[in-house]
Structure 1
Amino acid sequence: MNLRSLASGIGSLSDDTRRELYEYVVGRGEPVSREEAATATGLRPHKANFHLDRLVEEGLLEVEYRRLTGRTGPGAGRPSKLYRRSRQEFALSLPPRRYDLVGDILAASVTRASAGEPLDAALQDSARDHGIEAGQAAPHDDPASIEDLTSALAGQGYEPGEEDGVLELHNCPFDALADRHRALVCGLNESYVQGVADGMGCARADARLEPGDGRCCVRVHRRE
C-alpha cells in the first residue's frame, strides 16, 4: 500500500463520526448492520450508511451479506449488508520503518538454526532470501538496471539516491534496532539489499557494508 492510500485511510478516522462508527464495529467482534451501528451511535440510518461505506472505500471496513433470520429459500427475505473490520493492516511511519521485516528474517533464521544450520549463516541466508523475494516481486527490466534497483529500494523505505556513482541509502528502515544491535542488523541489511539486487537480476549491483552518519550502513556500488 502506498503512502497516499495509507494517509487517506488513517486520515478518514479524524472525522469524529467515522471514528465512532469504526470503533463500534471493531469493538463488537462480529459483523454489524447499518441499523445496529446507527442505533448505537445515535445517527440516522442513512447517515450511518454513508460513513460506513466511506470506511469501506478507505479499506478500513469490509462488507458481507447474510440473512440475519437464519431462514433460507423463497420468502426468506434479502440478505442484510453487514460491516466488519478489514483484514487489511494500516501502519504509517515517517521516516519509513520495517521492523516487521526484521522479525520475519529472525524467525526464519531461528527455523534454519533449529534444523542444524550455523546461526551466523542462517541469519545471512534468511536476509538474502527475503531480499531475493522482494527483488523478484519488484517491477524491473530484464536484465535489471541500477535504476530498477533504486526504485525497488525506494519502495522498501531506503530513500536511495546516487552520489558519485554510488547508491546511498539515506534512511535505515531498521534504525532503532540498528542503534542497539548494530553488528547484527547491519549485517542483515547488507545481505538483504544484495538479495534484492540478485532477485532482480541486477548483476552490476554490489552491496557493501560502509557505515556513515545519518544514513543506512549499506552502500551499493556499480560493478564494472
Structure 2
Amino acid sequence: MAMGFTLVFVDQPKEAQDAAVSAVAALDEPTRKRLYEHVVRRPGPVSRDEAAAALGLARQTAAFHLDRLADESLLDVVYERRSGRAGPGAGRPAKLYRRSATQVYVSLPERHYEIAGRLLAQAVDESEATGEPARTVLHRRAQELGDRLGKQDGPGVVDLLERYGFEPRREGDAIVLVNCPFHTLAREHTETVCGMNLHLLRGVLEGMGETRLEACLAPDPGRCCVRLEPTA
C-alpha cells in the first residue's frame, strides 16, 4: 500500500503522539484514504475538481475529505491560478492540495528510534573527524541531549519520562522504567544502546537539577535497562 508518508517521530512528547494517532485514524475512512493516495501520487498540486473527477466523486465530497486531510496536516494547501493569466480578470486562485512535509509515526508501545539514530550518526561522524572513540562520543552526546531535555520548563522527572515513552513506575523510592523507547536496538546492540540510554537519563537528571536520584544500569526482562535509584 503506497500511503505516501514516512513514519518518523522526532523527539516529540505525548501531544505529538496524540496528533499522529488522529492523523492516521483519519485515513481509516476509505474515500479519504483514496483521495490521499491520489494526491501523493500526482507530480503537482491537485484541485478539488481534478480529484473528484479522477475518483468519480461529487465535488463537495472530495472537498470535505481533502480539507479534513489538510486539517490533520497530511496534506498542504496552496493557491495557484490555473489560467496562466495575472492581474484583473485573471480570476481567483484555485485551492490546491499536495503532500505535506509533516512526518507521522505511531508506535505502541512507544518507540523513539530516531533519537537513537541521530545520536549514533553524530557519534560516528564526530569520531571519524576527531579520532575520539565512537562510544565515548555517543555517551557525551546522549548526556548533552538529556541535559537539554531536563532543562525544559514544566514537568517533573516522572512526567518527563512519561512524555518520552519510558512508562516510569515508582517502586518505593526508586523509579523503574517499564518501556524502553529503543527496544529493538537495545536487544540487538545491548551494550552500545543501553550505555547511550544510561547517559541520556543521567543528563536528564542533571538538567533538571535532580540530586535525589541517580541513573543506574539494572537490566531486567521486560523493562528498560536503566533504573533510577535514590542517590547513595
Question: TM over 0.5: same fold?
Answer: yes
Task: For residue 133 of structure 1, give the secondary structure of its aligned residue in structure 2.
Answer: helix
Give deviations 1:157-212, integer Å, cap 9, x for gaps: 10011111101100011111111111111100101111122223333331111111
Q: Which amino acid aligns with 2:175?
A: L
Contact kept, 8 Å, 2:148 with 2:204, in 1: the verdict is yes
Contact kept, 8 Å, 1:168 with 1:220, in 2: the verdict is yes
Q: Which amino acid aligns with 1:184?
A: T
| Cα distance, 1:138 vs structure 2 | 5.5
In the alignment, which of 58, 64, 67 is matched to residue 44 of structure 1?
Answer: 58
In the alignment, which of 127, 133, 143 is matched to residue 118 of structure 1?
Answer: 133
Cα distance between partner residues in 2 of 1:210 and 1:156: 20
**What is the match of residue 200 of structure 2?**
192
Structure 1's 41 and 9: CA in aligned 2 closer, same or farther, altered over 3 A?
same
| Cα distance, 1:115 vs structure 2 | 2.4
**What is the match of residue 67 of structure 1?**
81
Pairing 1:163–2:171 present: yes
Cα distance between partner residues in 1 of 2:196 and 2:146: 10
Give deviations 1:133-155, integer Å, cap 9, x for gaps: 32233524xxxxxxx01111111
Number of equivalent positions = 217
What are the equivalent positions in structure 2 for 1:50-61 lying under 5 Å apart? Answer: 50-61=64-75
Identity within the alignment, % = 44
Cα distance between partner residues in 2 of 1:39 and 1:120: 56
Pairing 1:91–2:99 present: no
Structure 2 gaps, min length 5: 1-14
Structure 1's 187 and 86: CA in aligned 2 closer, same or farther, altered over 3 A?
same
Pairing 1:30–2:57 present: no
| Cα distance, 1:79 vs structure 2 | 0.8
Give the RMSD, CA atoms, in angstroms: 1.5
Contact kept, 8 Å, 1:205 with 1:220, in 2: the verdict is yes
**What is the match of residue 16 of structure 2?**
2
TM-score (normalizing by structure 1): 0.91
Task: For residue 161 of structure 1, give the secondary structure of its aligned residue in structure 2.
Answer: strand
Find runs of 4+ consecutive structure 1 residues off by over 4 angstroms: none
Cα distance between partner residues in 1 of 2:85 and 2:203: 55
**What is the match of residue 205 of structure 1?**
213
Contact kept, 8 Å, 2:135 with 2:192, in 1: the verdict is no
Structure 1's 223 and 19: CA in aligned 2 closer, same or farther, altered over 3 A?
same
Cα distance between partner residues in 1 of 2:175 and 2:122: 28
Contact kept, 8 Å, 2:39 with 2:97, in 1: the verdict is yes
Structure 1's 6 and 39: CA in aligned 2 closer, same or farther, altered over 3 A?
same
TM-score (normalizing by structure 2): 0.88
Structure 1 gaps, min length 5: 141-147
Pairing 1:133–2:141 present: no
Cα distance between partner residues in 1 of 2:20 and 2:153: 20
Contact kept, 8 Å, 1:21 with 1:52, in 2: the verdict is yes
Structure 1's 175 and 16: CA in aligned 2 closer, same or farther, altered over 3 A?
same
| Cα distance, 1:3 vs structure 2 | 3.6
| Cα distance, 1:221 vs structure 2 | 1.9
